[in-house]
Amino acid sequence: MPSIWQRHPRYVVFVALVLFSTFYLLNPYQSTIPLDSYAAYIRDNDLPAKILRAEQVYTKVIDNRKQLIRKFGPTPHDVLMFPPDKDPWPAYTVWSFFPPSFHCPHEMERIGALGDGGKWTCGMSRLEHKPDCIIYTFGMNYETSFEAEMLERTRHCQVWGYDYRSNSFGSHIKSNYRAHFLPYGLANFDAHEASNKDKLYTLKTLLELNKHDHIDVLKIDIEGWEFEVLKQILEPYIASGEPLPFGQLLVEIHTWEKKFEDFLPWWEMLEAAGLRPFMTEVNLVYQNYNRGKDTDLAEYSFINIKGNNIFISDPPASSTEPNVI
- DSSP labels for 13-67? HHHHHHHHHHHHHH-TTS-SS-TTSGGGG---SSHHHHHHHHHHHHHHHHHHHHH
pTM, two decimals, is 0.84
Do 147 and 181 form a contact (C-beta atoms < 8 A)?
Answer: no
- CB atoms under 10 Å from CB of 91, counted, come to 7
Residue 116 CB contacts under 8 Å (≥ 6 apart), including other chains: 143, 283, 285
CA distance 61 to 55: 10
Kindly report the backbone phi and psi dihedral angles of residue 301, in degrees, each rounded to the nearest multiple of 5, phi listed first. Answer: -120, 130
pLDDT of residue 17: 52
CA distance 247 to 189: 23
Using a 10 angstrom Cβ sphere, with 0-12 exposed, 13-18 middle and 19 or more buried, the burial of residue 89 is: exposed
CA within 13 Å, CB half, 18? 6
Q: What is the DSSP letter of 191?
A: B
CA within 13 Å, CB half, 42? 7
* Yes or no: domain 47-304 corresponds to CATH 1.20.1070: no
pLDDT of residue 3: 54
pLDDT of residue 35: 54
Q: What are the start and end residues of each CATH 3.40.50 domain in the chain?
A: 47-304
Going from the first residue of the chain to its last (325 residues), give the mean pLDDT of each consecutive group of 10, the final group possibly shorter: 53 52 48 57 79 95 96 94 84 95 96 90 96 96 91 96 89 87 96 92 98 98 96 97 98 96 98 98 86 90 96 79 49
Do 65 and 97 form a contact (C-beta atoms < 8 A)?
Answer: yes
Amino acid at 286: Y
Residue 55 CB contacts under 8 Å (≥ 6 apart), including other chains: 102, 276, 305
Handedness of CA 195, 201, 206, 207 (dihedral sign): negative
